[in-house]
Chains A and B, each alone.
Chain A
Amino acid sequence: MKVLVAVKQVAVLGDEVEFTEDEREVDPDYLDFALNEWDSYATEEALRLVEAAGSGEVVVVTVGDEDAEDCMRRCLAMGADRGIRVEAVRTLDPIQVARALAEVVQSESPDLVFAGVQSSDSVQAATGGALAGLLDMPSVAVVTKIELGEGKATVNRELEGGLVDVVEVDTPAVITIQTGINEPRYATLRAIKQAEEKEIEVRQPGDLGPQAQRVRRMFVPPKGEGAEMLDGGAAEVAHRIQEIVQEKLA
């Protein structure tokens, strides 16, 4: 049982922002970095499947610069066996990322490929699907439960409005993992430090193709369009809420 998990180091923006000079990106000084929340669920799910199978391997893969290895350390500390980083800049579009991942998947031939449904910084929800498209693999997006069978898996796909679609998918397959599928285990700092001894192989990407999208400019969205800000202390705010509710429900 071998599961490959695509993970991403996401950028978190505080409440202050400056843009780069060309206004096409946020000034990296204003960003903090962390493991994408969805990817910790995907890693946990991979670990659980391999643990249940009794033997196998969880390989985490990321596409990014050296800093992106931090997020992979976290996955390795959780118990993943090894990591692969494809050297790239942070700001690739999801389809280019999928191209970089596709090469790794081809060389590793895993039984399952997991990715988070989406990344919290760009919310494209596209990498997993694009990867399946490039490799012509079966895929299911937004999965909240996986039961493995022989050459196939039965999974729950979480649809809009609280509906669940039970899907039988042939494996190997690409599955994008939704939050809440499990409770990701905690990686202690001790384990993270020790994960530095685990191997992270760095690969150079092949042809990532043209950009599928280009940022013309980034900007702060016009604030609170139409939102009337209520001032004063909590008591005053509460009072105004009461008035508004009474008026609108009348």
Chain B
Amino acid sequence: MTATRDTFAGLETWQIVLWYSLIVLSVAIFVYGVLRLLLKYRRGRGHEKFGNRRERAERVVRVVFTHAWIRRRDPMAGLGHLLVFYGFMVLFAGTVILAFQDDFANPVLSFDFWHGWFYKVYSLFLDVFGAALVVGLTYFAVKRGILRPFRLRYWRPAEPAEPLKDQPHRYEVGDWVFLGSLFFLALTGFLLESFRIAADNPGFEVWSPVGYAVGQGFRALGFDDGAAADARAVNWWVHGVFALFWVSSIPFTKAVHMLAGPAGVAAKDDRAGNRLAPLPAGAKAADVGYAFIDSLLPKHLLDLDACTKCGKCHAACPATATGYPLSPRDLVLDLREVAEGSMGNRAALGIEPTFPEHAQLIDTIKPETLWSCMQCMACVEICPVGIEHVPIINQMRRALVEKGDMDGQLQQTLETIYTCGNSFGETSRKRGRWTRDLDFDVKDIRKRPAEVLWFVGDYASFDPRNQKVSRSLAQILRRAGVDFGILYDGERTAGNDVRRVGEEGLYADLAEENVATISSCSFDRILTSDPHSFNTLKNEYPQFGGAWDVMHHSQLLLELIESGRLNVKKGLGYRVTYHDPCTLGRYNGVYDPPRQVLEALGAELVEMPRNRDNALCCGAGGGRIWMKELKGEDSPRPSELRIDEAVELGGIDYFVVACPKDVTMYEDAIKTSGHQGDIELRELSELVYESLALA
């Protein structure tokens, strides 16, 4: 007997016709749903040019097939998804091969390949991967039902808006239905196979080990021949119809991530967040930011569908962790409800909750939610489907700023920056004042050329604690013979956080002035100790015509040490830990230079429990340092949480930072968390300076 089987065994002609009709219907519904999704995305504003198509294609293939992004920070879940993914893919591929054989190769080409060794290998493959699917699904069921990790619970730091009150509950039900439907699909598939084997019992079906074993089990129980054949016939329809129904439902359910996820990965701007978009020229108030659901870029509407509620952003977000009324996951989900209920499939089908066309986002997303964001990029960085939360929030903030919908303190700060050019409300002439306590003059680079233009930034210029750090760095540069100068009163705040607050007009103004000032100077490279300034100078000023070689001081210090220009001894035997600034680490991938400098000084670095890409924001980013507190009443501040973590490491002498805002935030947090005396703060330059004294 040739190893094969008859797909339509025992079916009447009309039944086969019915079957093909159902296939057509299913595909039609699927196509309709997908088209409606595409139409929805087209309702978004603006057109993006997706350059680097080759790189994008390579990325999506790599990310999808290796699960590189899904595996991160939860390898077990990654493995689980890998089993489900490949299980599903192989079963799907098997179905496609079968359809090719039955509907094309055999009838058209008279080429019948689905038998013999091919059939056996085919059977084995599908059976094993089917089993993998079931194992993966079981793992997920255990994870959701029993393990219940934080990220998979729909607890929210803030109540959803009125029409979405029941949504968390619906999500829970939806997740189980999704999981259950896949399970059902797999189960009926195996049953079908087992019934068939129980009925016919061909020996070659040992190549379907699972089905064969179960089939033999049926036979042992006396369930064979006619009874099994009847069960098979019923099950054939149950499995087949359910499978068709399932496929047609993809664009309408959580399964949409199978399409939108890879699309999101492909479309993701790999510099999302670190380089925000300027306002369109001549923008009117209505063009500014995301005020309405159809203001979103098509890519950002796609992001909403890509979300699988995996909650990795929810777990990574410093705002969520400290009870601010923001969770990036919930924000994306709420936006998705608005998009779907306003112009998606749900709106078309009239399923509640619906939203008006051109729905105003402020009705659903509260301003406090948007102001809670620290723009730290933890969410974007960890999202397995390439969602760009940070630019989305930034655009929504722009709309709030345009309406003047912000807290008084922030408004005052922006007005101060407008009038004074810095957030401290100081007159510009005081910018260079910190140099007065040095025993040498710092060059005014506007008048005399220098190798390095040091863009000092607000905190390092005006804040007394940070001025000490600036003087340490200046001494180091002098010792290393670096020819440097500063802009004195010509410098204005770089504007990184002004941009992240959403005051794009003010940012552009600051950037244009700084670009003009810097362009008139003669230098080789730009240095800054402020990661915020670093980010915007390096990544965003090119939008305003200022493209330079920009370095963070940790990079320059390392360079000076490695080249021997700075003669440090491995004499500092301190036990230290290091906090990665968001704008240096996640934004720009500068993780190693500060660590290498610490190593060169002889310090023992004990890593924070959350470090590098997973480092928790200090809470100052995104302009939060200028706003009133929004954290949960019983929660510590993110910075206090961080200090707690550092103290728990045990015996840490210094909490080392490489960002002026961190100096301010953590000096404060050490006091407010009650850890004065347990740990002290040092800026990287201060330790380097200290080690110079040993040399």
Chain A: residues with CB nearer than 8 A to chain B? 12, 14-16, 30, 32-34, 183, 185-186, 188-194
Residues of B within 8 A of A191 (CB): 285, 402, 505
Task: Assess whether A190 is in contact with B426, with CB atoms less than 8 Å apart.
Answer: no
Contact of B256 with A by CB under 8 A:
no
Whole-angstrom distance from the CB of B676 to the nearest CB of chain A?
12
A190 to B507, CA, bound (A): 10
Whole-angstrom distance from the CB of A15 to the nearest CB of chain B?
8
Query: Which residue of A is nearest B285, CB measured?
Result: A191
**27 pairs from A and B in contact (CB 8 Å cutoff):** A14-B429, A15-B427, A15-B430, A16-B427, A16-B429, A16-B430, A30-B427, A30-B429, A32-B420, A32-B427, A32-B428, A34-B419, A183-B408, A186-B401, A186-B411, A186-B414, A188-B288, A188-B503, A189-B503, A189-B508, A190-B283, A190-B285, A190-B288, A190-B402, A190-B504, A193-B505, A193-B509
User: What's the interface size class on B, roughly?
Assistant: 20 to 34
Task: Assess whether B406 is in contact with A186, with CB atoms less than 8 Å apart.
Answer: yes
A100 to B279, CA, bound (A): 40
Query: Which residue of B is nearest A185, CB measured?
Result: B404
Task: Assess whether B506 is in contact with A188, with CB atoms less than 8 Å apart.
Answer: yes
A190 to B283, CA, bound (A): 8
Task: Assess whether A192 is in contact with B505, with CB atoms less than 8 Å apart.
Answer: yes
Whole-angstrom distance from the CB of B619 to the nearest CB of chain A?
23
Residues of B within 8 A of A15 (CB): 427, 430
Task: Assess whether A190 is in contact with B427, with CB atoms less than 8 Å apart.
Answer: no
Partner of A188, one of B402, B427, B428, B430: B402
Interface hits, B261-289 → A, CB 8 Å: 279, 283-285, 288
A188-B401 contact, Cβ under 8 Å, with A34-B419, A183-B408, A193-B505 = yes
A170 to B284, CA, bound (A): 39
A12 to B288, CA, bound (A): 32
Contact of B418 with A by CB under 8 A:
yes
Task: Assess whether A14 is in contact with B427, with CB atoms less than 8 Å apart.
Answer: yes
Residues of A within 8 A of B279 (CB): 190
Residues of B within 8 A of A188 (CB): 288, 401-402, 503, 505-506
Partner of A14, one of B404, B414, B430: B430
A34 to B427, CA, bound (A): 12
Query: Which residue of B is nearest A13, CB measured?
Result: B427
Chain B: residues with CB nearer than 8 A to chain A? 279, 283-285, 288, 401-402, 404, 406, 408, 411, 414-415, 418-420, 426-430, 503-506, 508-509
Task: Assess whether A190 is in contact with B505, with CB atoms less than 8 Å apart.
Answer: yes
Query: Which residue of A is nearest B400, CB measured?
Result: A186
A199 to B644, CA, bound (A): 57
Query: Which residue of B is nearest A77, CB measured?
Result: B505
Whole-angstrom distance from the CB of B490 to the nearest CB of chain A?
14
Name 17 extra pairs, CB < 8 A, besides A189-B509, A190-B279: A14-B426, A14-B427, A16-B427, A30-B429, A32-B419, A32-B427, A33-B419, A186-B406, A186-B411, A186-B414, A186-B415, A188-B503, A189-B418, A189-B503, A190-B402, A191-B285, A194-B284
Residues of B within 8 A of A34 (CB): 419
Task: Assess whether B404 is in contact with A189, with CB atoms less than 8 Å apart.
Answer: no
Which of A30, A33, A186 is the most central at the interface, judged by chain B CB atoms within 10 Å of its CB? A186
A116 to B549, CA, bound (A): 49
A193 to B284, CA, bound (A): 11
A14 to B424, CA, bound (A): 12
A236 to B415, CA, bound (A): 36
A183 to B503, CA, bound (A): 19
Query: Which residue of B is nearest A183, CB measured?
Result: B408
Query: Which residue of B is nearest A186, CB measured?
Result: B404
For the complex of A and B, the 4 pairs showing the least CB-CB separation, nearest first, are A189-B505, A190-B505, A14-B427, A186-B404
Residues of A within 8 A of B509 (CB): 189, 193
Whole-angstrom distance from the CB of B590 to the nearest CB of chain A?
30
Which of A14, A183, A189, A194 is the most central at the interface, judged by chain B CB atoms within 10 Å of its CB? A189
Whole-angstrom distance from the CB of A40 to the nearest CB of chain B?
9
Task: Assess whether A189 is in contact with B506, with CB atoms less than 8 Å apart.
Answer: yes
Residues of B within 8 A of A32 (CB): 419-420, 427-428
Whole-angstrom distance from the CB of A185 to the nearest CB of chain B?
4
Residues of A within 8 A of B428 (CB): 32
A16 to B430, CA, bound (A): 9
Whole-angstrom distance from the CB of A36 to the nearest CB of chain B?
12
Query: Which residue of A is nearest B411, CB measured?
Result: A186
Residues of A within 8 A of B505 (CB): 188-193
